[in-house]
């Protein structure tokens, strides 16, 4: 996956290099600009077993800042924000690979370096008893619960980087 | 043998005649005896489904998921360009302007339309409200839910957006929308049961091509549809997964 492009970034940014579970690395550029999650909007996407995006609805496009063409075929970690602890995503993958539904609060990175906050539900899709992919639905979170989750994530990040 | 067609009870009342006209058209086109049964509530319709009385149904997304997963129905078509969205409405006199202004104890009028109730509850989550902190009243139809709000007996109501649009202008004037869902991936589908398994493809073809003939066009107009488009098994599966994620 390509590094983020400074030309796409709105405002001053910090630079991080993220290494994902599959060993690939990417330079991400991050600002502190939040795009508020609109009431009533639902981001819907599907991925294959490897987490490669196969469907993105209009809300996903609006909130992430990417075009549909830029999202389809990319790993879902294109949205990974450096402030999210790896353990949160490890927990998610373990849960959904075991055939269960995962819920959690997530800070997502936009194409322009800003972020948006969501309450995410990810569930496995079955065909003939086998998991064939995953559906993810993101909605507006409760502000208080989101703040609590972000504080917990900050502590988890400290432990991960210690 | 006479087959039974039914329609999700959330359709606007001004389309009742349209469904009778549709049934007459479908009987002629398929050369099959079909009886249209319009159930007064979601419960009575579900009972009929459980008793195996229903062969074809224009189903809301939640019931379609149950019919496909548990009863062997197959989705064949959906109305062109129509998606299901929910709105939370209140009286124009109400002091709240947004979901965040609502407090525990808020009185909610809702129908038994599970898809719309799921969406309504989802839209209240940011205010940390759920069924345990709300006072809910289940009523038989959207117009009744709206009436409770206008009479001050409920603070808000969960309503199918299409049903809100069909209210009279004078009623709508007394209501304001607190929040409206923007999903675009949920829709009603025409699903066909196992007794008509060998006619599913024929029914899909008939519906998808309905807008091409003058008679079909007329029937569509009475239903308030532009036409039908085919629904694939994968598309239906996607919608079912989405419903599952919202539960």
Q: What is the mean pLDDT of residues A25-37?
A: 95
- Among the listed residues B203, B186, B188, the one whose alpha carbon sits nearest the alpha carbon of residue B55: B203
CA distance A80 to chain B (A): 21
Other Cβ atoms less than 10 A from the Cβ of B130: the count is: 12
- pLDDT bin (cut points 50, 70, 90) of residue A55 is very high
Q: Which fold has domain B3-82+186-246?
A: D-Maltodextrin-Binding Protein; domain 2 (3.40.190)
Measured on CA atoms in the order A17, A19, A23, A24, is the torsion positive or negative? Answer: negative
Other Cβ atoms less than 10 A from the Cβ of B42: the count is: 21
Mind listing the domains of chain A with CATH numbers?
6-161 (3.30.450.20)
Average pLDDT of chain B, as a whole number: 93
Across the interface, which of B179, B185, B242 has its CB nearest the CB of A39? B179
CA distance B197 to chain A (A): 20
Interface test with B, best of A37, A38, A39 (most B CBs within 10 A): A39
pLDDT of res. B41 = 84
Tell me the chain B residues in contact with residue A38 when contact means C-beta distances shorter than 8 Å.
Answer: 182
> A11-49 in b/e burial notation, b at 16+ Cβ within 10 A?
eebeeeebebeeeeebebbbbebebebebbbbbbbbbee
**Residue pointed to by tokens 């690939």:** A24
pLDDT of res. B116 = 93
Q: How far apart are CA B99 and CA B77, in angstroms?
A: 35
Indicate the burial class of A84 (C-beta count within 10 angstroms; 0-12, 13-18, 19 or more): buried
Below-70 pLDDT ranges, chain B: 11-13
Domain ranges (residues) in chain B: 3-82+186-246, 86-180
- pLDDT bin (cut points 50, 70, 90) of residue A1 is confident
For B167, the 3-state DSSP assignment is coil
Across the interface, which of B181, B182, B246 has its CB nearest the CB of A137? B246
For A129, the 3-state DSSP assignment is coil
Tell me the chain A residues in contact with residue B123 when contact means C-beta distances shorter than 8 Å.
Answer: 39-40
pLDDT of res. B12 = 66
Beta pairing partners, A138 = A43, A120
Model confidence over B154-194: pLDDT tens digits? 999 999 998 899 899 999 999 999 999 998 889 999 999 99
Whether residue A32 has pLDDT greater than 70 = yes
Is A40 close to B241, i.e. CB distance below 8 A? no
Show the CA angle centred on residue A86, arms to residues A83 and A88, nearest 5°: 95
Average pLDDT of chain A, as a whole number: 94
Same fold, B3-82+186-246 and B86-180: yes
Is B99 close to A121, i.e. CB distance below 8 A? no
pLDDT of res. B42 = 84
Return the CATH number of the domain spanning residue range B86-180.
Answer: 3.40.190.10
Across the interface, which of A40, A46, A125 has its CB nearest the CB of B182? A40
Q: How far apart are CA A76 and CA A56, in angstroms?
A: 11
Nearest CA in chain B to A56: B185
- Among the listed residues B79, B70, B65, B75, the one whose alpha carbon sits nearest the alpha carbon of residue B11: B79
Model confidence over A10-27: pLDDT tens digits? 889 999 999 888 889 999
Side by side, the strands of the sheet bearing B175-180 are: B135-138, B107-110, B156-160, B86-91, B175-180
C-beta separation of B201 from B30 below 8 A: no
- Name the strand (E) or helix (H) holding A153: helix A143-161
Q: For the range B97-100, what are the long-range contacts, defined as Cβ-Cβ under 8 Å and sequence gap of 24 or more?
A: B97/B178, B98/A39, B98/B178, B98/B179, B99/A39, B99/B123, B99/B124, B99/B126, B99/B127, B99/B178, B99/B179, B100/B126, B100/B127
Tell me the chain A residues in contact with residue B246 when contact means C-beta distances shorter than 8 Å.
Answer: 121, 137
pLDDT of res. B13 = 66
Side by side, the strands of the sheet bearing A115-127 are: A53-56, A43-47, A130-139, A115-127, A102-109
Q: How far apart are CA B104 and CA B133, in angstroms?
A: 5
pLDDT of res. B171 = 95
Instruction: Kindly compute the dihedral angle of the four CA atoms of residues B116, B119, B124, B129, in this order, to the nearest 10 degrees.
Output: 80
Is B126 close to A143, i.e. CB distance below 8 A? yes
Tell me the chain B residues in contact with residue A132 when contact means C-beta distances shorter than 8 Å.
Answer: none
Tell me the chain B residues in contact with residue A141 when contact means C-beta distances shorter than 8 Å.
Answer: 125-126
- Among the listed residues A11, A116, A1, A20, the one whose alpha carbon sits nearest the alpha carbon of residue A64: A116
Percent of chain A with pLDDT over 70: 100
pLDDT of res. A63 = 97
CA distance B242 to chain A (A): 7
Length of chain B measured in residues:
247
């Amino acid at each position: 996956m390509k590094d983020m492009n400074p030309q796409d970034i709105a405002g001053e940014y910090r630079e991080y290099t993220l290494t994902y579970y599959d060993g690939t690395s990417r330079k991400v550029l991050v600002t502190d600009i939040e795009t508020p999650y609109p009431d009533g909007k639902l981001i819907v996407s599907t991925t294959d077993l490897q987490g490669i995006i196969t469907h993105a609805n209009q809300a996903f496009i609006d909130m992430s800042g990417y075009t549909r063409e830029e999202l389809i075929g990319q790993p879902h970690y294109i949205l990974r924000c450096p402030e999210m602890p790896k353990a949160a995503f490890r927990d998610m993958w373990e849960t959904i690979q075991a055939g269960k539904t995962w819920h959690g609060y997530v800070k997502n990175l936009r194409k322009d370096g800003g972020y948006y906050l969501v309450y995410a539900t990810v569930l496995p899709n079955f065909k003939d008893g086998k998991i064939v992919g995953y559906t993810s639905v993101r909605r507006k979170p409760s502000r208080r619960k989101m703040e609590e989750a972000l504080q917990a994530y900050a502590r988890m990040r400290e432990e991960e980087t210690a | 043998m006479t087959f039974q067609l039914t329609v999700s009870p959330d359709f606007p009342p001004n389309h009742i005649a349209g469904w009778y006209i549709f049934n007459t058209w479908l009987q002629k086109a398929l050369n099959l005896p079909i009886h249209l049964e319009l159930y007064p509530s979601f419960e009575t319709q579900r009972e009929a489904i459980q008793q195996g009385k229903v062969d074809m149904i224009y189903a809301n997304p939640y019931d379609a998921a149950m019919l496909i997963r548990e009863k062997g129905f197959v989705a064949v078509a959906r109305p062109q360009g129509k998606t299901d969205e929910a709105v939370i409405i209140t009286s124009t006199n109400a002091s709240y302007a947004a979901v965040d202004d609502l407090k525990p104890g808020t009185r909610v009028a809702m129908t038994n339309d599970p898809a719309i109730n799921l969406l309504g509850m989802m839209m209240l989550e940011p205010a940390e409200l759920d069924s345990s902190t709300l006072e809910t009243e289940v009523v038989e139809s959207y117009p009744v839910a709206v009436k409770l709000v206008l009479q001050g007996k409920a603070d808000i109501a969960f309503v199918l957006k299409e049903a809100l649009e069909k209210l009279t202008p004078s009623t709508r004037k007394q209501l304001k929308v607190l929040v409206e869902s923007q999903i675009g991936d949920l829709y009603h589908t025409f699903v066909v049961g196992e007794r008509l398994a060998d006619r599913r493809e024929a029914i899909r073809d008939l519906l998808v091509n309905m807008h091409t003939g003058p008679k079909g066009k007329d029937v569509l107009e009475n239903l308030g549809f532009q036409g039908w488009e085919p629904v694939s098994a994968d598309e239906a599966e996607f919608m079912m997964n989405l419903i599952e994620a919202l539960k």
